[in-house]
Structures are given as C-alpha cells and as structure tokens.
Structure 1
Amino acid sequence: MTDAVLKRVAIRKYTAEKVSEDDIKALIAAFQASPCGMHQADVMQMTVVEDENLLSEIEQVTSNACYNAPLLFIINVKKGNEFGERDASVAAENLMVEAATLNLGSVYLMNAANVLNSAKSLEQKLEVPEDFETSVIVACGHAAEQPNDDRSNRYKVVRK
C-alpha cells in the first residue's frame, strides 16, 4: 500500500497558510484523473474555492462545517445521474490522497455539501448549474493538527 493512502487522515483544523498554486494544480490533476461511470465525464464538475470572501460565506452558511480550511473543492454532480455520487466520492478520495502526498490535510464533507444545496444564492456565486447539485466538499490546507489513529484493523475483513 502506498504511503499516501496510509498517511491520509481526516484533518479538521488548519493553519491560515495558503496552499501553493503548484499544489492546487496537482490537486486539480488528481481530480481530473478520477474514473467516471460509463465514461460519462459530463455528469461531474468541481469548483475550487480559495477566495476568502466566498470561503467565509460558505463557513457561515454551513455553520463552520468546513473547519475554516483555506481551500475547498466543491464537487458537483448532475441531478438524478446514477453514477454522479459514486464518481464524486472517488474523485474526493483522489483529492485527499494527493493532498497527503503533498503534505496537506483534508477532510470529506457531506453534510456541508447538503447544506450548500439549499443555499441557492451561494450556488449561483459558485456557478453551480441548475441541473447539478453539490455531492461532496473536500476541505484542504496545511494541517494544524495531526490525529493519531490506528486504522490497521478498522473494518471486518472476510477472506475465503
């Protein structure tokens, strides 16, 4: 298993340091490399939010559910598509593993995504098309904490 997969943990506290442009480009490339069901690449898109005013507004609308991360990846999927949410989750994992490779922290946020779907004026600012909805948000930045959790025996595994 790769070090990045083992290194990736949910980070819920970030420093104020901005993520570099090179790192953002690498994270976008990780998103672009995500698989998509039945080659339907038109059912998913991502909005990268680094503008402080938009970040603040998102925090306010989501009751600080994005942990004041300096960078958000908002993954939107076409409403009613059978692959959209699955594709978004795989894309989020790509982002989080790449973030770990870049020594950045990240966390998968579903509840904040659900709240964002009801904030229509904010969705317009984020240029989410009307036939799309937010499936997941990945908060990302420089970690201000490093959780120490042993995940070596987290789930039941059956081998036959």
Structure 2
Amino acid sequence: MNAIFKRRSIRKYTGEKVSEELLKKLLEAAMAAPSAGNQQVWEFIVVRDRKVLEDITKVHPYAQMLKEAGAAIVVCADISREKYKNYWVQDCAAATENILIEAEYLGLGAVWLGVHPVEERVRGIKDLFKLPKDVYPLSIISIGHPAEKKEPANRFDENKIHYDRW
C-alpha cells in the first residue's frame, strides 16, 4: 500500500534508459487491472526512441518532460474487441493507474498525460503512431529514473465521504 500513498507525478528524469525488465513489470501491472466483463481491450505502445518521444511533445502540449524521460507507454484500446461499449475508458484508466503505482514501487518516476477525450490530442497520437481505425489512445505515461523527489501528499478529506445518502 505504501506505493499508493507515496506515488507522485514525477516530471524530471535523469535521462537514463528504463530497462526492458522494468518495462515488462510495468506492463504486467497494467494487464493485472480489472476490466469490464474481463474484456481486456487495452493495447500498449512502449516508446524508447528519443525522436519519437520528442515527436509526442509536438502533439501533446503538456508532455515536455518526455524530452528527458527514459521511456513512455501509450495506453490504447481496440474498441473492435469491446463487449461492453464505452467501458474501454475505465479499463484503460485502471491499467494506467496500475502502471503509475508499479513505477513508484520499482523506484521509477512517472506521470499520467491525458490524451482522450481531447480530440486534437487523440488525432495527433493516432496519426503519429499510425493507429488502426478502431484503436484509440487514452493516455501516455512518461517514465524515467527520477531527478526530483516529492513528499507524499495526504489527500484524504473526511468532508468528501457520505454514508448511506448524500
């Protein structure tokens, strides 16, 4: 549970590559996420190529940290495989969160970069990666060896809890 409470959005990296072994662990965590009806429509693009990481920054205005990142993972859904329409967003969001938590556990830094539902980002990422017609990007996760340390944030707020009724 410590990885959940210690997880922070890390945007500064050493530039060191992220090993294949660590990337595989991140992807295993992603695919351990729950999905509606166990449909598992997610697909992942692992980006290690420095030029491609920089190309993403031209499409996504908040992705500048990718210039220093060791890697990125683009989380997508193949909606042609959906059993339960439009649950792909929740499924891919759960996979994204699992990657973020596993990154913390492994001593990596990561940050969630939203793509869907911003149409210009979706279109830009689809074009950049030549995604098939039925594949949609939900998020990009910037990953690297952290060059910054952030203290855990306690976001627990008793006022946001309602019992039995609003």
Compute the RMSD of aligned alpha carbons.
2.2
Per the normalisation by structure 2, the TM-score is 0.82
The corresponding residue for 1:73 is 73
Paired with 2:57 and 2:122, the residues of 1 have a C-alpha distance of: 14
The corresponding residue for 2:94 is 90
Indicate the SS of the match to 1:10.
coil
Residue 3 of structure 2 aligns with an amino acid whose one-letter code is A
Residue 75 of structure 2 aligns with an amino acid whose one-letter code is I
Paired with 2:111 and 2:93, the residues of 1 have a C-alpha distance of: 12
Q: Determine which of 100, 103, 106 is the counterpart of 2:107.
A: 103
Q: Determine which of 134, 140, 144 is the counterpart of 1:141.
A: 144
2:29 equivalent to 1:24 = no
2:127 equivalent to 1:121 = yes
Q: Percent identity?
A: 32
The corresponding residue for 2:50 is 52
Paired with 1:72 and 1:61, the residues of 2 have a C-alpha distance of: 14
The alpha carbon displacement at 1:18 in A equals: 0.8
Q: Determine which of 139, 155, 162 is the counterpart of 1:158.
A: 162
Distance 1:10 1:113, change over 3 A: farther
The alpha carbon displacement at 1:19 in A equals: 0.9
The alpha carbon displacement at 1:148 in A equals: 2.6
After TM superposition, the structure 1 stretch with the greater mean CA deviation from structure 2, 144-153 or 45-54, is: 144-153
Indicate the SS of the match to 2:138.
strand
Contact 1:117 1:123 in 2 (8 A): no
String of CA shifts for 1:102-155, please: whole Å, max 9, x gaps: 00011111148844422243131xxx2211111111111111111235324357
Paired with 2:42 and 2:98, the residues of 1 have a C-alpha distance of: 14
Distance 1:35 1:112, change over 3 A: closer
Contact 1:49 1:73 in 2 (8 A): yes
Residue 129 of structure 1 aligns with an amino acid whose one-letter code is P
Structure 1 residue runs without a partner (length 5+): none
Residue 146 of structure 2 aligns with an amino acid whose one-letter code is A
Paired with 1:113 and 1:67, the residues of 2 have a C-alpha distance of: 21
Structure 2 residue runs without a partner (length 5+): none
